[in-house]
């Protein structure tokens, strides 16, 4: 996820302080990984330097002065360009799980145990996500569906690999 583009998009609804941006980000996107305050302010500083935001005002408070950021026309154009560009799909060709299976075979360990352990973890995670999806709003349901579909694909791979372990063992141990 591009934190900068996400914060720019949140600014399109109107100027905000860094604290307000963090809260909006966390409420909308950060359920599992809230944004650190330092990351918000470092990102806003970079966006300011690049001319994508401007400081609309500064308010004195009990602590440091609070800057109110506003998106610039260049920032809006940058968000539009980012939204219009496709994300590169994950290639999954460097899989830690695949590496574990092959290393188990190479070291004469039970690769089926590796697959079984992973299958159990995937199923546990799917139960958690399914419960979260059932209790969540539409946005939460959609992000859980995204994760669940990927986990389902992984489970299909686990089953296929389990069915081919003998042949894979022959190829990698030879």
Buried b (16+ CB within 10 A) or exposed e, 141-169: eebbeebeeebeebeebbeebeeebeeeb
Residue 58 lies in a domain: yes
Question: Same domain for 62 and 121?
Answer: no
Using DSSP's 3-state secondary structure scheme, residue 71 falls into: strand
Per-residue pLDDT tens listing for the chain (174 residues): 689 999 999 999 999 999 999 999 998 887 778 899 999 999 999 999 999 999 998 887 777 778 999 999 999 999 999 999 988 877 777 788 999 999 999 989 999 999 999 999 999 999 999 999 999 999 899 999 999 999 999 999 999 999 999 999 999 887
Question: Same domain for 67 and 132?
Answer: no
Question: Same domain for 52 and 119?
Answer: no
Tell me the CA distances in angstroms from 33 to 13, 27, 36, 100, 174, one per residue in order.
23, 11, 9, 27, 44
Domain end residue (candidates: 31, 54, 84): 84
Residue 90 lies in a domain: no
Residue 91 lies in a domain: no
- Residue 46: domain span: 3-84
Domain end residue (candidates: 63, 84, 105): 84
Question: Same domain for 8 and 63?
Answer: yes
């Amino acid at each position: 996820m591009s934190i900068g583009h996400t914060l720019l998009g949140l600014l399109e609804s109107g100027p905000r302080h860094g604290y307000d941006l963090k809260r909006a980000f966390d409420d909308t996107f950060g359920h599992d990984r809230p944004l650190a305050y330092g990351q918000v302010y470092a990102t806003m500083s970079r966006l300011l330097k690049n001319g994508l935001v401007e400081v609309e005002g500064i308010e004195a408070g009990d602590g440091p002065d609070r800057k109110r950021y506003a998106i610039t026309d260049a920032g809006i154009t940058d968000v539009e360009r980012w939204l219009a560009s496709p994300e590169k799909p994950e290639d999954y060709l460097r899989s830690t799980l695949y590496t574990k299976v092959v290393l188990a075979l190479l070291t004469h360990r039970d690769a089926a145990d590796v697959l079984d352990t992973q299958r159990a973890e995937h199923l546990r995670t799917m139960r958690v996500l399914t419960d979260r999806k059932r209790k969540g709003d539409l946005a939460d349901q959609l992000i859980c569906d995204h994760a669940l579909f990927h986990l389902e694909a992984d489970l299909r791979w686990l089953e296929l690999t389990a069915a081919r372990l003998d042949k894979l063992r022959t190829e990698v141990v030879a």
